[in-house]
Amino acid sequence: MPLDIVIGAQWGDEGKGRVVDLFSQESDLVARYNGGDNAGHTVQVGQQTYKLHVIPSGIIHPETVGVLGSGMVLNPQTLVEEMTLLRAAGIEINPERLWISDAVQLITPAHRLLDQAQDAALGKGQIGTTGRGIGPAYVDKAARRGLRAGEILEPEYFAGRVRTHFEEVNRLLTGWYHYENLDVDAQVTAYLGFAEEIRPYIRRIGPLVQIALRAGKTVLAEGAQGTLLDVEQGSYPFVTSSHTTSSGVFSGLGLGVQPVRRVIGVTKAFQTRVGAGPMPTELDGEAAKVLRGTGANPWDEFGTTTGRPRRVGWLDLMLLKYAHEVNGFSELFLTKLDVLSGLEEIPVCVAYTRDGQTLHALDFSGDARLLSRCTPVYETLPGWSEELRACRRWEDLPSAAQDYVRFIEEHTGLPVTSISVGPERSALITRSSQ
């Protein structure tokens, strides 16, 4: 009864979509357990590119069931739009192969407005949220007044709750943030329409996933965002509002830890970040352009959800070691190694200095203030000039690229079991421990 977990080891956007795509070929269920439509996976299959924000990207495999777990926050409108897109692309979506937990918290357009108003009000201290209403929906969950998907199954009761929600948020938006009055009637009607469309998909997920596991089926838990955006373990307060780390899987799907087989940490060969907050190895200038790309390709470093250019920097092994500590990875999946081709030298952060002291392990309790005072200490590795996009075996890689991978393994103590060298599904090197 294996449960495999795919986790972003950095600040999100590590290329988890393609990892999930690969593993979901062998998985019966693919489950999201955290976050909402702040996430964005780009998956390239043949000539087609899919951008998914809510539905697990594994759904593009015809035999796979997609699960939206209770740890998520779900915007019914985004879900309905995504279902329509996928159907137009010839992918079958029906309640047999898409399950929504009855305990999922719902996001409304009022949450989105509140998210945008609250972040803007922070002025210089802005988090730079995706504006998708994630924070306010999780606030409502913790305050025990959130709307849960299961309530949709009782239409009259749900309609009353939705109206109360819109009226309350409207009072806050107009009274505190000086927004224009919402047309509550129109909002409620539109929202109930989307809710009605997702009603056939709502289930109690925990027992179904347990039954699947007991029957020997393979479940893949697909993390959204990355370790350093975890609401507790990340660079607080510049984080998202959910548990992005492996511990979120168990509460977010209603499972125990027994079935875990692999915890796959996904890391780029360099560092990226969207939104505000400290990033010790951040770069500017020519090297940044190499790492970011021009934006001409879907895999360049521009946000899937917001289109914002991502901040880029050299690989930070201090943060990667920390990510291993809080997730318990069994292995690493290294993405975008090909992007480093052509650089004469590649600095890698192996330690920090802070307040006159050198740190080799991160005494980091999720505090952005401490992280912002850290200066990276680099070790510089030789680069390679060869293109890697055609490499398919470990032996095909230039020796400097092999050394780069080995360097990561030595510092983290983890095997790098897969390396991606291009956006196509096939641009992958799979290796057992060398």
Count other Cβ atoms within 10 Å, centred on residue 7: 31
Tokens of 35: 């976050």
Tokens of 388: 């890697």
Euclidean distance between CA atoms 423 and 375, whole angstroms: 32
Euclidean distance between CA atoms 127 and 229, whole angstroms: 11
Scan residues 271-310 and list those touching ligand IMP (CB under 6 A): 274-275
Place of tokens 């998210």: 115
132 contacts ligand IMP (rule: CB under 6 A) = yes
Scan residues 18-77 and list those touching ligand IMP (CB under 6 A): 38-40
Candidates 4, 21, 37, 41; catalytic one: 41
In the bound state with ligand IMP, the residue whose beta carbon lies nearer, of 51 and 163, is 51
When binding is defined by CB under 6 A, the residue of 77, 129, 327, 412 that contacts ligand IMP is 129
Residue 234 CB, nearest approach to ligand IMP (Å)? 9
135 contacts ligand IMP (rule: CB under 6 A) = yes
In the bound state with ligand IMP, the residue whose beta carbon lies nearer, of 218 and 271, is 271
When binding is defined by CB under 6 A, the residue of 55, 74, 103, 134 that contacts ligand IMP is 134
Whole-number Cα distances in Å, 108 to 1, 85, 137, 196, 328:
36, 21, 8, 14, 35
Residue 426 CB, nearest approach to ligand IMP (Å)? 25
Sign of the torsion formed by the C-alpha atoms of 106, 111, 115 and 121 = negative
Binding mask 203-242 for ligand IMP (x = CB under 6 A): ---------------------xx---x--------x-xx-
335 contacts ligand IMP (rule: CB under 6 A) = no
Chain-centre distance for alpha carbon 38: 8
17 contacts ligand IMP (rule: CB under 6 A) = no
Concerning whether 13 is annotated as a catalytic residue, the answer is yes
What is the gyration radius of the CA atoms in the chain, in angstroms? 22
In the bound state with ligand IMP, the residue whose beta carbon lies nearer, of 42 and 210, is 42
Tokens of 210: 């347990």
Which residues in 102-207 belong to E strands, given as ranges? 105-106, 202-203
Residue ranges that bind ligand IMP, judged by CB under 6 A: 11-13, 38-40, 127-130, 132, 134-135, 224-225, 229, 238, 240-241, 274-275
